[in-house]
Structure formats: structure tokens, C-alpha cells
């Protein structure tokens, strides 16, 4: 599949993603059974993952979206551009950040820092995908779907220059 100038090949099929999403939801249902957490999906990338995950979450919960951006093309700019508005009060709440992918971990670290300063009772993160830099830096993500190396991926909410978010399977960039 060609997207702009890059070639992508199928990587993780929708059925495998569905299975993993259910397993992550089961873990959350177990760990938060006596709590009413607030899920904070990070837009845009996590919209599809958050939607599927939250359909399997059975504990009472609130959901509020935040938006950030640190990517340009296929690499991180190293700077977090925006963090647009959670409307719920987060003070004394159990927060679960929902991410599509953690790469350098910069986005997540910034958000966790901000949430702690707002007085959240606990802050954890669930991500569908985690890349090698985040593992090496030991970025604090409790719930991880799939561990990747450094491949650039697209589909299931993830984009390349805004394109490809709509695919239900995950693709990765083909070697040149």
C-alpha cells in the first residue's frame, strides 16, 4: 500500500488487535474494579484504540479527550506542541491515559507530569504499541499491547502526514 512517498505492508491484522484490546480491558477491569477511573485518550492517534478498548471496559468510568502533537512526518520533533483541554476535574481522581503508541515517551512524560501537578490520585497509562526508545528509557507505561522495534507504523488510528488512520489493520513501512 502506498501512502504519499512511502510503501507500507500489513503488519498486525485487525483480529489480533481485537484480541489484544480485550486482554488489556480485562486487566483494567480487574485492577480498577473498586474505582471509577477517568480515561484520557490522547487525540488524534488513539481514537480507534480508545473506542474499541472502552467498549470492553466494564467498571464505571469517565472519558475525556486531550490533544497533543509532537510529530512531523515520520519522526518526533522532540517538542510537545499542544495539550488541549480535559474538561473534567482531575483532582483526586484515578487517571488512565490512553495512547496509540509510545515512541520516545516525551508526550507521555509531559502529560503524566501535568496530571500529577493537577493533584490526580493515581496516573497510569495504557498503550496499544510501544517502541524501543520507550523501553530503553523505561518510560512508565503499565499496560502495553504490542512491543515494536523502531518500525514506523500506520493504520488503526495512526497516521503518516495525516493519512492512513482509517485502516482497521496495522501496517508498517516497507524496507527500502
Least distance (Å) from ligand IMP to the CB of residue 104?
3
> Closer CB to Mg ion, residue 37 or residue 45?
45
> Closer CB to ligand IMP, residue 90 or residue 141?
141
Counting beta carbons within 10 angstroms of the beta carbon of residue 21, is it exposed (0 to 12), middle (13 to 18) or buried (19 or more)?
buried
Least distance (Å) from ligand IMP to the CB of residue 140?
12
Q: Pick what 106 binds: ligand IMP, Mg ion, none; C-beta below 5 to 8 Å, kind-dependent.
A: ligand IMP
Q: 109-133: string of b/e by CB count within 10 Å (b at 16+)?
A: bebbebbeeeebeebbbbbbbbbee
Catalytic one among 103, 147, 150, 161? 103
103 has catalytic annotation: yes
Give, as ranges, the residues between 32 and 71 that touch Mg ion (CB under 5 A): 45
Q: Which residue has the cell 523505561?
A: 138
* Contact footprint for ligand IMP (CB under 6 A): 45, 70-71, 76, 99-108, 152-154, 158-159
Query: What pairs with residue 129 in β-bridges?
Result: 101, 146
CA angle 143, 75, 123 (to 5 degrees): 25
* 142, containing H or E segment: none
Q: Pick what 52 binds: Mg ion, ligand IMP, none; C-beta below 5 to 8 Å, kind-dependent.
A: none
Residues recognised as catalytic: 103
Amino acid at each position: 500500500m502506498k501512502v504519499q512517498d512511502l510503501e507500507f505492508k500489513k503488519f498486525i491484522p485487525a483480529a489480533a488487535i481485537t484480541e489484544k484490546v480485550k486482554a488489556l480491558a480485562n486487566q483494567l477491569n480487574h485492577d480498577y474494579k473498586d474505582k471509577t477511573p477517568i480515561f484520557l485518550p490522547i487525540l488524534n492517534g488513539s481514537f480507534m484504540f480508545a473506542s474499541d478498548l472502552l467498549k470492553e471496559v466494564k467498571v464505571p468510568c469517565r472519558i475525556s479527550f486531550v490533544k497533543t502533537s509532537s510529530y512531523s512526518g515520520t519522526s518526533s520533533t522532540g517538542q510537545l506542541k499542544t495539550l488541549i483541554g480535559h474538561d473534567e476535574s482531575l483532582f483526586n481522581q484515578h487517571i488512565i491515559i490512553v495512547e496509540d503508541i509510545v515512541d520516545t515517551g516525551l508526550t507521555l512524560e509531559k502529560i503524566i507530569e501535568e496530571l500529577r501537578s493537577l493533584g490526580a490520585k493515581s496516573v497510569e497509562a495504557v498503550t496499544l504499541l510501544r517502541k524501543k526508545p520507550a523501553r530503553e528509557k523505561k518510560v512508565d507505561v503499565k499496560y502495553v499491547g504490542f512491543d515494536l522495534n523502531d518500525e514506523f507504523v500506520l493504520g488503526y488510528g495512526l497516521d503518516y502526514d495525516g493519512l492512513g488512520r482509517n485502516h482497521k489493520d496495522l501496517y508498517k513501512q516497507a524496507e527500502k
